[in-house]
Amino acid sequence: MDTFKLYLPLCWLRANPVDLPRSLGFFKQNLLFYFILELFIQANMIDPSEAVFEVIIETTFTLAFVGLILFLNKTTHLYVQIISAVLFCENIIAFFGVPIVIWLTVSEDALSYYLLGLLVLWDFILITYIVKNVLSINLAASLTISFFYFGMTYAGAYAITTMLF
């Protein structure tokens, strides 16, 4: 619970991901929680077998993307804490997103789309913040890398799943 409390301010842009503690156990918990939440969200929108495949691809791409940017930055020693930060932030947003996705699939109310859009924006801001702090780059560069992250993980996983199913 102490690690959770240390990572939570990151979701409000009040912590530097580089300064967060390295915890393999926290990483594993976040990875499992991420997989379950994403699977639940995807299974509400698409066929369950497609959802499993797409979440496996999304998770793999997320893990690989963080590894790649840290490798290129020669800071692979930060992998566990940075991937934990990314997964933790994604989990917090997904936690808030689950009821919205259920509401959206049941009613398709315009407000549910707006709220989902705000959550996606918040996710984008958090990933940009993490990238900016980890790589020590300017905002424009971190926005570009974050855009690539979202394109690779979500659009890439969707495209691959669409081609195969």
Q: Is the dihedral of CA 73, 148, 23, 122 positive or negative?
A: positive
Q: Tell me the average pLDDT across 40-45.
A: 86
Average pLDDT, whole number, for the chain? 94
Whether residue 1 has pLDDT greater than 80: no
Residue 16: what pLDDT? 97
Do residues 135 and 142 lie in contact, with contact meaning Cβ atoms separated by under 8 Å? yes
Please tell me the total count of domains within the chain.
Answer: 1
Distance (Å, whole) CA 16 – CA 18: 5
Distance (Å, whole) CA 152 – CA 148: 6
Distance (Å, whole) CA 133 – CA 136: 5
Using a pLDDT cut of 90, give the percent of the chain over it. Answer: 85
Distance (Å, whole) CA 50 – CA 20: 35
What is the extent of the structural domain holding 50? 2-164
Q: Is the dihedral of CA 73, 79, 85, 89 positive or negative?
A: positive
What are the pLDDT digits (tens) for 71-103?
999 999 999 999 999 999 999 999 999 999 888
Distance (Å, whole) CA 48 – CA 34: 16
Whole-prediction pTM value? 0.94
Whether residue 48 has pLDDT greater than 90: no
